[in-house]
Structure 1
């Protein structure tokens, strides 16, 4: 029986562990922290419960696939609730717009705000559906690092393949595609924020990522009762039942590479643990820099210049009185998206008037707060860490900026008086807590019209027997993508060990 060592017990690492164990592999999982789940952690204080990291679950079929590896029904393990509206949007001019769960109803709501954009939204969703279909067939469920991994352009070039290539819209950005279809700036701003799932600017990200809109509109936004923390807990239970050896509080200092192949991992205490294969759920760039090193690191860094995605400031606010006008998920949009994106992505500074995302899970699960109260998660995107950023000094002023924004645009002017519990997470905290690249929440930026959608592949091209999972590996960040990355890493490792290849298209169609 082959043995696989997994570095990191985030969503990708847990998905890889469950998949490999279900296929008969011996698995040992190492996690530096005392808990599993990575960013999908929980904060509890004085009767308030906060999901600390991801709060939006889409594409539940990815989790269904992972549980089905062990013959389990996801819906017996998790109580998932589909949300409507998916988002509620607030604007500085007082406009409130709901993105409804049903695409037809969503178009009607948009049409009430901007009549011409009802058809424009429907056109955009047709494009998004096409891009989602191409992604499912060529991009998902297999290790991909560049265009040559997606399709055999020489061997299978025909009219159908050419149509798929053209559908990728490699000459266009997300923002450029949206502006072709909708004209109202408020509607465009809402649609541009689908790209925030990958922490990148719509002005620089490839149009193929518009497919994210279909993945949400077509498959829904879901809330696991118990919070998103319930997802890694369910995966941990499954891993334990499948016999995975889990070692929390155990960091890895090095991957031992001999003759170009991963042979073992070395713990921070100096223990050598031999392995036939290694899956790293740590940030892919930091994996090569800090755990691999040597010629493999140099070869990896020569393949492409990689930049961190954005980071963020999170306020966890326990309120004694709820804001009933909030939905479960809310966006309070900036006054000027171009000003916002230029600050974060071009100048590397916090936006003067940022967009704030608010999760108010008491709408769906009242028990997250004392009766009548509210457990708010407020996230504002910031640039990834620069050398001159000192968030211990920057936070007080930026907290004021965030709360002023909520008061001005979202009807929350008395929020200070309602706060009973307050905790924060800054880019520096994220960097240190999760061992990510420069405090990035979403791994690597998805910038570039052609290469922006590509992340380091799940099967290392530099080290035989090394596989990558997590938000900084293919297919990218966000809960479903991180989970899928773990499944792909496991499936690829299993195939390399002589396992039967999975039928990717059949999986995608489920």
Structure 2
């Protein structure tokens, strides 16, 4: 067992729902929950099915010895996508979720002792740049303008509409060319600033969505504008609390969650999705099916018996997949108030940047050095740890399982954890003596728990020829009535991306038969019920 907490009862409907207005969502990840909410607002009676014992997918949690570990995403960068989602359902996001702004956002540390503290204030950020490299201020100002321009085009335009028609891509190619989308995030940062530390600080963000900063399209520098414009937030109770709030909205719309249940296959008849077959053999009919399972798993497993035109097994396997993750979740006893220089979010850099990324993404080599993202939510949220204690996780990007020289994580997990602890001892002396809870996730857990191909933590890597039209579409070309959402689909990984994928899906999916939307958003909930 991965947890010592009792399994919560499955939120299962009294009987298998059938009917012309019944929709099934496979997977209760954040994209699946958001899609279920969008469908509920369009009059569908939705059943969400998930193999885990709680909603949230990668955003779920596990408890051990009084510590609650948020397993995946830790920050919310574009809260308006959630507010708009709630509004579409006639609800108020801020009444359901306690979102706290972070200031500072995070601190970046280098082996030479230098640091960079990211904040929302442009003047505070310019002061940080000037402290490290005053000559790079003009370039930083240009970088911010570049970031804002790509935000309006890449997120607000392309990221919130469907890209399933080739013509949609052709129309925007001139803009891609003008914005030099062919350049990498790192190359764009390097063209603006000279200090290598600043180049890292302005280019590392793709790692949070599974991309290699040295190869992912420079469109992703838009993240710098997201942080500046909207801030970085933490949800009290973790992202799992947002998932729980989403589940309650779905249930309030008349939908249901069927947990601890695995879908074995999507049932397709004469080219039309007709429902799902569960691992038990039970068939659940539906007039509309949404898969929030990884797009690779959807096509190679859930549609394994369907002849596919585009997303064949070979085509899926040939994609470049995101890196894997090694995550050490641990609790410490009696350390509240200790290590006062370690905040909520800290990035601890290895001596190498490009070399380490090459090892992870290109060579598939488990390097001896490592860069760590250290999460300490107990600084902000006392509910994650017993009184006087702390809860952490340390995350290290590692190769996925696709490489021929793949890592044997059954053998390497504990030695690697010890290496992580050794690195942390440099910043938090005595940490090894305080450990009161410990749990490790490797790419094996991502493969088995989340059904992620090759243990990739963020599905398909967001390179330019794996983005927009090239990415799995939100409406499937393999079966009518089948839609996809989540990290492996357009627009991509990360909380804003997966919630936006549900927004795109909501524009593509029809209203439920007989449903008539009312004029005001608050009435949509009543109409759906």
TM-score > 0.5, shorter chain as reference: yes
Root-mean-square deviation (CA, aligned residues, Å) is: 2.3
The DSSP-based 3-state class of the residue aligned with 1:94 is coil
Is 1:181 aligned to 2:192, yes or no? yes
2:376 to 360, 363, 374: 360
Residue 352 of structure 1, CA deviation:
2.2
Is 1:274 aligned to 2:285, yes or no? yes
1:21 to 40, 45, 55: 40
| Alpha carbons 2:86, 2:93 under 8 Å: kept | yes
Is 1:36 aligned to 2:55, yes or no? yes
Residues 296-315 of structure 1 correspond to what in structure 2 (within 5 A)? Answer: 296-297=307-308, 299-301=310-312, 305-315=318-328
| Alpha carbons 2:425, 2:432 under 8 Å: kept | no
Residue 98 of structure 1, CA deviation:
0.4
- Within 2, Cα distance between the matches of 1:39 and 1:152? 35
Is 1:132 aligned to 2:151, yes or no? yes
- Within 1, Cα distance between the matches of 2:126 and 2:96? 34
What residue in structure 2 maps to residue 389 of structure 1? 407
The DSSP-based 3-state class of the residue aligned with 2:104 is coil
| Alpha carbons 2:180, 2:218 under 8 Å: kept | yes
| Alpha carbons 1:206, 1:452 under 8 Å: kept | no
1:494 to 487, 497, 510: 510
Residue 329 of structure 1, CA deviation:
0.9
| Alpha carbons 1:141, 1:488 under 8 Å: kept | yes
What residue in structure 1 maps to residue 450 of structure 2? 434
Residue 21 of structure 1, CA deviation:
0.8
The DSSP-based 3-state class of the residue aligned with 2:407 is coil
Residue 117 of structure 1, CA deviation:
2.1
Is 1:105 aligned to 2:137, yes or no? no
Is 1:194 aligned to 2:205, yes or no? yes
- Within 2, Cα distance between the matches of 1:116 and 1:418? 44
Residues 242-321 of structure 1 correspond to what in structure 2 (within 5 A)? Answer: 242-294=253-305, 296-297=307-308, 299-301=310-312, 305-320=318-333, 321=335
| Alpha carbons 2:247, 2:257 under 8 Å: kept | no
Residue 357 of structure 1, CA deviation:
0.2
What whole-Å deviation, never above 9, does each CA across 1:103-125 have from its counterpart, x for those lacking one? 22112112111112222222111
What whole-Å deviation, never above 9, does each CA across 1:459-495 have from its counterpart, x for those lacking one? 1122111110111111111112112212322331136
**TM-score w.r.t. length of structure 2:** 0.88
The DSSP-based 3-state class of the residue aligned with 2:351 is coil
Residue 146 of structure 1, CA deviation:
7.0
Structure 1 stretch 43-52 or stretch 32-41: which is displaced more?
43-52
Structure 1 stretch 165-174 or stretch 415-424: which is displaced more?
165-174
CA distance 1:180–1:383, change in 2 (3 Å): same
**TM-score w.r.t. length of structure 1:** 0.91
What whole-Å deviation, never above 9, does each CA across 1:393-446 have from its counterpart, x for those lacking one? 1112211222222234xx223221221211111110111011111111111112
Residue 245 of structure 1, CA deviation:
2.4
- Within 2, Cα distance between the matches of 1:171 and 1:406? 37
What whole-Å deviation, never above 9, does each CA across 1:8-60 have from its counterpart, x for those lacking one? 11111111111111221121111122211101111222332221111121111
Residue 63 of structure 1, CA deviation:
0.7
1:223 to 224, 234, 243: 234
Is 1:459 aligned to 2:475, yes or no? yes
The DSSP-based 3-state class of the residue aligned with 2:57 is coil
What residue in structure 1 maps to residue 527 of structure 2? none
CA distance 1:147–1:331, change in 2 (3 Å): farther
The DSSP-based 3-state class of the residue aligned with 2:310 is helix
| Alpha carbons 1:145, 1:457 under 8 Å: kept | yes
CA distance 1:184–1:498, change in 2 (3 Å): farther
Residue 269 of structure 1, CA deviation:
1.2
What residue in structure 2 maps to residue 96 of structure 1? 115
Unaligned runs of 5+ in 2: 1-19, 518-529
CA distance 1:166–1:399, change in 2 (3 Å): same
| Alpha carbons 1:138, 1:150 under 8 Å: kept | no
Is 1:376 aligned to 2:397, yes or no? no
CA distance 1:359–1:33, change in 2 (3 Å): same
Unaligned runs of 5+ in 1: 154-160, 502-510
| Alpha carbons 2:400, 2:455 under 8 Å: kept | yes
| Alpha carbons 1:20, 1:491 under 8 Å: kept | no
- Within 2, Cα distance between the matches of 1:380 and 1:61? 29
What whole-Å deviation, never above 9, does each CA across 1:355-406 have from its counterpart, x for those lacking one? 1001111221233223332211111011111464221211122112222222
Residue 134 of structure 1, CA deviation:
0.5
- Within 2, Cα distance between the matches of 1:498 and 1:233? 29
- Within 2, Cα distance between the matches of 1:137 and 1:166? 18
